[in-house]
Structure 1
């Protein structure tokens, strides 16, 4: 992580209206991102019935979103990033453009969307931990208790689903989670100085020298179903681009530590959405776990989060 990160507003210092807006936008971003796993699975297919190559899904979506970002940045007259902002942009790209999409793409070739959604449930806690370290925020013990309870529920659900021991796909998914969490936090840091909509656009434009040739290199050689192309277009336009408009603004308004906890709901939304999109099974026990996590999130939003005092000079 780059040293001396810019401070974001913490929950304690954010105005109540900003916090409410941040939580609302965070919920919108979570809903958009919740479709990412089912749509990635739809685009890439399974090991038994492959569709688009995982590398094309991951890097092609960033290339398409990057080309749209050029038009957006020119249309809005966005100023160019300065100084160390470029380093933060590059770090963010490593997490959200390369790490999360590639590792997720490989994983969902091996496991279904419900399984992948369970493992992604640790993302809010990972984001909160990285944010607390990087953004000099100090969550209360009650906040951490709620975060750990949410994690325990997610892991308990995974154990109940019968994933005895970690598979290769689980390790890929955990790596994807860490990548996304780091990218969320560094992107939120940038959102303190750059408009959040421009942050993800600059990240994507910066990545184009790698993503555009990679998209061409991994272009599919075999016929692909229309549904798979539909999944690809969703992850390119919404998961890779427009969803970050809402998410980074939410983190900037409400604080990365607090708003990230809304993301505890994301794996369960992904499971619900995987039913109509992919035809995967969902049962009553899964819904009970979802309600339990919602209760933990509700409690966590009411726990104090403090900014650390500035060090004496």
Structure 2
């Protein structure tokens, strides 16, 4: 499906806007865990995990209707279903349950492995070769995050870690498929259709959760739920998938190495959690890995149609 107002953009011309958009997505997502923690103060885990998708789905449906957006071609629905399963259902559910068992900061660092998982899935999907330097930087970033994780959990993964590993595996697949589709459809439509597709599942699950979890919403809890619904589940994906369409899935994914470090900062400032002493060292090492991946020419995206 091509937009009549498309303009061909590619190569180095796409790098700067792609970086800006992808970084905006990373910053948006970095508030997700603190906001979820706030939401859990007044709502049960099932209500938060499913309710965020319902609210976002209603907003997305309204946007699609207001824009009179045509239904995607049949060939796009497999990818949209992957986004729905990974980013709309799987990731929110597993991470919300993990946050009931672990701190925001620890959970954020475990999910710092998401860039590596997304890079692997993305590389397999787009079949484009990356340089050895790129993969060494990706591996170094992942090892750094893993070392930090296990240093905080006494050398063995906890139940929360296992839930988070499941979440990042599902989300990586959803990110890769969404980034691929964003080269053919406007990025906001990719996540919007995924949210709408998930509504037949998320609406009844939210209704059941509200009936059994006895919600006691406070102002902070409502604000947290509103953030994860409007920004984390919808708005952040709009700029994130657009950035991926410029940079390519594999290269853009490495910017998310900064996300857990940003989340650590927010968890200290907003939730008053204690910042681990090794976090600054981890931050410097991870940022160096990001710089290397973004300077690697093999990661540049090919020409594509920019959706206006």
Q: TM-score, normalised by structure 1?
A: 0.89
1:44 aligns with 2:35: no
Where in structure 2 are the equivalents of 1:148-297 lying within 5 Å? 148-219=139-210, 220-297=213-290
Does the 8 Å CA contact 1:14/1:254 hold for their aligned counterparts? no
From 270, 281, 293, the counterpart of 1:300 = 293
Secondary structure (helix, strand or coil) at the match of 2:74 reads coil
For residue 112 of structure 2, what is the aligned residue in structure 1?
121
For residue 16 of structure 1, what is the aligned residue in structure 2?
12
Q: Which digits, 9 at most, give the CA deviation of each residue in 1:123-143, with x for residues without a partner?
A: 001000000001112111100
Alpha-carbon distance between aligned partners in 2 of 1:80 and 1:240, rounded to the nearest angstrom: 21
147-156 vs 281-290, which moves further = 281-290
Q: Residues 162 and 203 (structure 1 numbering): CA distance in 2 closer, same or farther, change over 3 Å?
A: closer
Does the 8 Å CA contact 1:123/1:181 hold for their aligned counterparts? yes
From 29, 35, 58, the counterpart of 2:31 = 35
For residue 62 of structure 2, what is the aligned residue in structure 1?
71
Secondary structure (helix, strand or coil) at the match of 1:111 reads coil
RMSD value, Cα = 1.5
Does the 8 Å CA contact 2:150/2:157 hold for their aligned counterparts? no
CA drift of 1:304 comes to 3.1
Alpha-carbon distance between aligned partners in 1 of 2:200 and 2:276, rounded to the nearest angstrom: 45
Q: Residues 265 and 63 (structure 1 numbering): CA distance in 2 closer, same or farther, change over 3 Å?
A: same
Q: Which digits, 9 at most, give the CA deviation of each residue in 1:172-198, with x for residues without a partner?
A: 000101111100011112112111111
Does the 8 Å CA contact 2:46/2:93 hold for their aligned counterparts? yes
Secondary structure (helix, strand or coil) at the match of 1:301 reads helix
For residue 5 of structure 2, what is the aligned residue in structure 1?
none
Q: TM-score, normalised by structure 2?
A: 0.91
Does the 8 Å CA contact 1:40/1:105 hold for their aligned counterparts? yes
For residue 304 of structure 2, what is the aligned residue in structure 1?
none
Name the count of aligned residue pairs: 290
1:99 aligns with 2:90: yes
Does the 8 Å CA contact 2:43/2:216 hold for their aligned counterparts? no
Unpaired runs of at least 5, structure 2: 1-8, 301-308
Secondary structure (helix, strand or coil) at the match of 2:129 reads strand
Unpaired runs of at least 5, structure 1: 1-12, 46-50, 308-313
Q: Residues 304 and 16 (structure 1 numbering): CA distance in 2 closer, same or farther, change over 3 Å?
A: closer
CA drift of 1:285 comes to 2.8
Q: Which digits, 9 at most, give the CA deviation of each residue in 1:108-154, with x for residues without a partner?
A: 00000011011011000100000000111211110000001101111
Alpha-carbon distance between aligned partners in 1 of 2:196 and 2:79, rounded to the nearest angstrom: 14
CA drift of 1:17 comes to 2.2
Does the 8 Å CA contact 1:131/1:137 hold for their aligned counterparts? no
Does the 8 Å CA contact 2:251/2:299 hold for their aligned counterparts? no
1:110 aligns with 2:106: no
CA drift of 1:228 comes to 1.3
Secondary structure (helix, strand or coil) at the match of 2:170 reads helix
Q: Residues 162 and 218 (structure 1 numbering): CA distance in 2 closer, same or farther, change over 3 Å?
A: closer
